[in-house]
Structure 1
């Protein structure tokens, strides 16, 4: 079997690369022995899925982080092979492993983006590694895995990957299987597309909508005179008001008090 093993660029130079992160759900609840076992199993399943897809894992620049593996894939890696067959084989590996009654169940969130990456002292630098770290922690992705309890894997890809690769008509990639989500994590904001192998898009869409909306802060009587009233409602995926989720902040001006004859100033 011939593996896809593109040549590596010189270290330290910025190149456009495919970045991937796989994060174990609820890893912190495990004891030390189980954490070590889960880490080994995660690496094994990623290795097997890559081998079945004819991807050379030895050429991946991997940055393990305990419950998460971040990887920068070689230049010229076929994105459609990663988004399609690799994800499929990983989902099958997870399903088969979790079917063993004695096994500690492993459920994964996975994120992918394509962008500029450079080697750095602590790993990698560039917008793509940052974006992947934010996408894998997207509230919608967490909500999907929490709601669809039968799912073992939930995947989110950047809007660029969706537009350039998923919608390109390549075999094995169905744009209709992806659900768009507006991701806001820390200072990052952007659109991503979520797919859960084995689950219908309507189920994914409904699960993503379970993301908790922010709750207005209670106001005391002392606060009332000094704070202008703020409304909070959801409009096109953005919460508008004091607590903002979705990147839109709206201050509602308070009209000046009316003046005129007979009104005390």
Structure 2
């Protein structure tokens, strides 16, 4: 009996929290040091998750050299990831970088929630694609480059900011986040950046300097050709995306209310 082709199986999407952690200036390291900092990154994420009460063994992890992309299990408390996990990751990074003669590890961290499905080369869906774009946002890179004393810069999607950060959880302070209009490849959307240990006045100049001030939601109407975040079975492969992407297709803005990038 002939087995059915794997391409004919139904793709079952789920809503998941997605996270990407990327090391700064990894390519400048020699091979031996790259191996050491990869091991260190995994240990840092393991320790931060354990201290925050998260089970890292349940994360679906996709290593990518200087980056780890993870899909977290259902019912993971989003506020725990944005609050205690980020806090413990910051502390552990500081302890690691305080060791004499150790290579300094600096991270960009991106977090989003949305539709995810298993795929042949990793994961498909809007959330994996968005996280890959957020972690490479020019504003996030600019912030980490400018704040040389910082070990970690974090960006969360507008969805997470509106649904979780703004609710006023004890570990989250909405005023510490600076909004950024992220445009990377076909992707366009808003994210919110914060740098643990630095206030918004430290972060804002780099965010605005990378791509200029954000357009006002009440300002002039945007052009009729805009970037859409709609994705049809896109597959995250390493740092790029292949598959049926239609991100960036022209969309016609609604005539009622301000334009929003989703």
Q: How does 1:16-165 map to 2 (within 5 A)?
A: 16-165=15-164
Q: SS at the partner of 1:170?
A: coil
Alpha-carbon offset, residue 212 of structure 1: 6.5
- Would the aligned equivalents of 2:16 and 2:115 in 1 still touch at CA under 8 Å? yes
Residues 1:195 and 2:206 aligned together: no
Aligned to 1:236: 215
Name the CA distance, whole Å, in 2 between partners of 1:193 and 1:59.
27
| 1:59–1:170 distance in 2 versus 1, CA, 3 Å | same
What is the rounded CA distance, in whole Å, between the counterparts of 2:159 and 2:211 in structure 1?
A: 27
User: Could you report, residue by residue, the CA deviation over 1:102-147 in whole angstroms, capped at 9, with x for unpaired residues?
Assistant: 1100000000000000000011000000000000000000000000
Secondary structure (helix, strand or coil) at the match of 1:198 reads coil
Change in 2 beyond 3 A, CA 1:110/1:235 = closer
Q: How many angstroms apart in 1 are the aligned matches of 2:180 and 2:169?
A: 23
Match of 1:261 in 2: none
Distance 1:121 1:80 in 2: 31
Is 2:40 aligned against 1:14?
Answer: no
Cα offsets for 1:131-175 (capped at 9, x unmatched) = 000000000000000000000000000000000000012221110
Q: Deviations over 1:43-73 (max 9, x none)?
A: 0000000000110000000000000000000
> What are the superposed Cα offsets for residues 52-98 of structure 1, whole Å, 9 maximum, x if unpaired?
01100000000000000000000000000000000000000001110
Judge which range, 179-188 or 92-101, deviates more.
Answer: 92-101
Helix, strand or coil at the partner of 2:210: coil
CA contact (8 A) 2:139 2:211 kept: no
TM-score in terms of structure 1 length:
0.76
Q: Name stretches of at least 5 consecutive residues in structure 2 with no aligned partner.
A: 1-9, 217-225, 228-262
Q: 1:60 to 1:180 in 2, by over 3 A?
A: same
Partner of 2:241: none
Which structure 1 residue ranges, 5 or more long, are not aligned? 1-10, 214-233, 238-245, 248-265
Q: CA RMSD in A?
A: 1.7
Shift of 1:12: 5.1
Q: Which 10-residue stretch deviates more, 178-187 or 93-102?
A: 93-102
Partner of 2:256: none
Q: Which moved more, 1:96-105 or 1:17-26?
A: 96-105
Query: How many Å separate the matches in 1 of 2:181 and 2:117?
Result: 27
Distance 1:212 1:29 in 2: 26
Residue 236 of structure 1: CA displacement?
3.0
